[in-house]
Amino acid sequence: MAEIRNIAIIAHVDHGKTTLVDRILHQVKLFRDNQEVQELLLDNNDLERERGITILSKNVSVRYKDTKINIIDTPGHSDFGGEVERVLNMANGVLLIVDAFEGPMPQTRFVLQKAIELGLKPIVVVNKVDKENCTPDIAQEKVFDLMFSLDATEEQLDFPTVYGSAKAGWMGPDWQTPTEDFIYLLDTILEHIPATTHKEGTLQMRITSLDYSSYTGRIAVGKVSRGQLIPGAPVSLVKRDGTIVKSVAKECYLFEGLGKEKTKEPVPSGEICAVLGLEGFDIGDTIADIENPEGLKAIQIDEPTMSMMFVANNSPFFGKDGKFVTSRQLRDRLYKETEKNLALRVEETNSADSFLVYGRGILHLSILVETMRREGYEIQLGQPKVIIKEIDGVKCEPVEALTVQVPEVFSGKVIELVTARKGEIANIEVTDDRSHLEFFIPARGLIGLRNQMLTATEGEAIMAHRLKGYEPWKGELGIKRNGALISLETGTAIAYSIDKMQDRGRFFVDPGEDVYMGQVVGENTRLDDLTLNIVKTKKLTNMRASGSDEKTSIAPAIKFSLEEAMEYIRNDEYIEVTPNHMRIRKILLNEHDRKRVAKSVTE
């Protein structure tokens, strides 16, 4: 029987994980020479391809020198930390990929910390050594310093380093002499990553991720950690709370190449497999022996740090775009998501058509919204809010460690922006005209910061952050957003009206777009809201005079991405998201209602 190596690939966003896996698959001749193969094979959902990020962890396997290597691709964003922590439980070692130019980044630290705590052996891959001005040796030293600061053991600190360029298709022991292929990396994996050992005893397999098939339903994926799993045999399902449910492992599939292959043979311990036919299982449950069930320790998942209100769409334009618009459909979809998205929680509210959704950050929640809008859902979103905890009788809020890399000339502006949001400077380093700034900032202060940061630094800032922990409440943030320009009537935006109102602020809608009463159509130049009529047309007379029909020149409308809109809105506004449109609106559409509420608040 072939030896098995389970290896997880970890890295900061955009350091080349998925490209590296592509090259390994090509190296072991997984495809025929004449087979047409697309790039980024593992990013198989549309959102991952568009954004160039990995959201869900994936399993593939390759065979090399009579050894089966199971490769687990993990997300790099800390918002998907729930995904990473589960998956590392299946690995014997990790491949840490670091950009030769940027070195280890905050997200690298986040994932590496989890791997070191689990006692996994790392192999460091310094990637992109063909970049201009890169410093592979310094990047490697920084990784050593990082591991040392994370309390790595002597054995973990004695890690092998591989240099190369996944894009150019080579890996070798030295970055100055390119090799032909990826053989050196594969040999290093065989040499340094321990093989899985067969553990005798009764069956134990922890479910670490879920797959879904429209034919067979939910599929449990995990590593057999003890004994063997016999396809078709009855098993016990040990739940996280200790209750035991009898079930049957009807079919077992092993990961071969990019797909799954059904097996009739018993699955040995150390192998990763997918099990069909179980019922009522969740991530973290243990598949155990039918007669002597013993559960494994449940997986600990970091708590959500942000909440957001999801409301069924009730705007004047509801039902024009989407297939699913009722609150019942929204509720079913959100609860279905919590089954496989462990870091997500849903709570019902006093209102039947609104739900409070808890997640790990803006990106985590926006990916869910983007997925739902593509499936045909219409939803409205409230302002994101951080989760406040009471610890020992003290009101506490999440604090993030924020790092910003920026040209030195802009560092003053960055410090000014962050400190205005109750951020504290932790460290400043300047190398080659680039400043590396580190801050501790309340998670509230990050909402809306990215846009301002990019504007202030002319798009040069690179921001990354990770949760540091909960600290006592820092007080009110002195952030003011300009007021909104609100549509007075429902109709079509007219170029003539927008042109006449341009001195009032910046518009979010183009001429010809449909707008409704209470929709936010722009941002005021002042701090208060202003209601205006942009559906008013020019009154035509039968008199013609030269110069009376002057040309209109309208500034292009500002178009937000979903994350930008989530960071932009205030607490009296919703974002209406449908498959084809995204609009910002006031919760109360009628101007008189808004004035009445404002008056009652001031009284």
User: Which residues fall in the annotated binding site for GTP?
Assistant: 14-19, 127-130
Spell 418-431 as b/e; 16+ CB within 10 A means b.
beebbbeeeeeeee
Confirm if 447 and 424 have CB atoms less than 8 A apart: no
DSSP 367: H
CA gap 505, 523 in Å, rounded: 6
Dump strand ranges (E) for 48-92. Answer: 58-64, 67-73
Pairing outcome for strands 3-11 and 67-73? parallel
Phi, psi of 248 (to 5 degrees): -135, 130
List the binding residues.
14-19, 127-130
Confirm if 517 and 489 have CB atoms less than 8 A apart: yes
Residue with tokens 């309390």: 151
CA gap 27, 182 in Å, rounded: 6
Segment (H or E) for 263: strand 259-263
Q: Is 238 exposed, middle or buried (0-12, 13-18, 19+ CB in 10 A)?
A: buried
Phi-psi region of 265 (alpha: psi -120 to 50; beta: other; left: phi over 0): beta
Residue 260, Cβ neighbours under 10 Å: how many? 19
CA gap 424, 417 in Å, rounded: 11
Q: 512 pairs with which residues across the strands?
A: none
CA gap 177, 449 in Å, rounded: 43
Of 322, 338, 332, give the one whose Cα is nearest residue 379.
322
Spell 207-224 as b/e; 16+ CB within 10 A means b.
bbbbbeeeeeebbbbbbb
CA gap 283, 13 in Å, rounded: 25
Confirm if 389 and 396 have CB atoms less than 8 A apart: yes
CA gap 469, 387 in Å, rounded: 12
Phi, psi of 244 (to 5 degrees): -120, 130
CA gap 363, 346 in Å, rounded: 17
- Tokens representing 529 are 């809201």
CA gap 1, 61 in Å, rounded: 16
- Tokens representing 453 are 């940061």
What's the CA angle centered on 402, arms 400 and 408, to 5 degrees?
Answer: 160
